[in-house]
A and B are shown apart, each in its own frame.
Chain A
Amino acid sequence: MKALKFLFTGIFFGIVLTKSQAISWYRIVEMFRFESFHMYGIIGSAVVTGVILIQLSKKLKLKTTEGDLISLPQKAKKYKSALLGGTIFGLGWALAGACPGPMFILLGAGYYSIAIVLVSSITGTFIYGLVADRLP
Chain B
Amino acid sequence: MDYILNPWPWYITGPLIATVMFLLVSFGKTFGMSSNLRTICSIGGAGKYASFFDFNWKEQQWNLWVAVGSIIGGFLAIHFLSNSNPIDINPSTIEVLSSYGFNDPEANLAPAELYSFEALKNPFNLFLLVIGGIFIGFGTRYAGGCTSGHAITGLSNLQLPSLVAVIGFFIGGLLMTHILFPLIFL
Contacts and interface: CB of A to CB of B under 8 A. Distances in A.
Interface of A: 2-3, 5-33, 35-39, 41-51, 53-54, 57, 62, 64-66, 68, 70, 72-79, 81-101, 103-111, 113-114, 116-130, 132, 135
Contact of B165 (A48, A85, A95): A85
Interface in B112-168: 114-117, 120, 126, 128-148, 150-162, 164-168
Nearest to A107: B71
Contacts of B38: 125, 129
Contact of B171 (A24, A29, A90, A126): A90
Contacts, number: 508
A72 B153 contact: yes
A116 B130 contact: yes
Contacts of B166: 86
Contacts of B161: 75-79, 82
A123 B134 CA distance: 6
B154 to A, nearest CB: 5
B75 A108 contact: yes
A70 B10 contact: no
Interface of B: 7-30, 33-34, 36-38, 40-41, 44, 46, 49-50, 52-53, 61-63, 65-78, 81-82, 87, 89-90, 92-93, 96-97, 102, 105, 108-111, 114-117, 120, 126, 128-148, 150-162, 164-178, 180-181
Nearest to B133: A120
A68 to B, nearest CB: 6
A90 B89 contact: no
Contact of A75 (B53, B105, B142, B162): B162
Given A100-B146, A104-B74, A7 B65 contact: yes
Given A25-B114, A47-B151, A120-B129, 8 more contacts: A6-B69, A15-B76, A18-B77, A21-B7, A42-B13, A46-B17, A88-B138, A122-B44
Given A3-B61, A72-B30, A93 B52 contact: no
B152 A11 contact: no
Contacts of B156: 46-47, 50-51, 53-54, 72
A49 B134 CA distance: 32
A10 B65 CA distance: 7
A56 B134 CA distance: 38
Nearest to A47: B155
B28, B114, B128: residue with the most chain A Cβ atoms closer than 10 Å: B28
Contacts of A104: 33, 67-68, 70-71, 74
Contacts of B37: 100, 121-122, 124-125
B14 A49 contact: yes
B161 to A, nearest CB: 4
Contacts of B70: 10-11, 13-14, 17, 101, 104-105, 108
B143 A82 contact: yes
B68 A128 contact: no
B24 A9 contact: yes
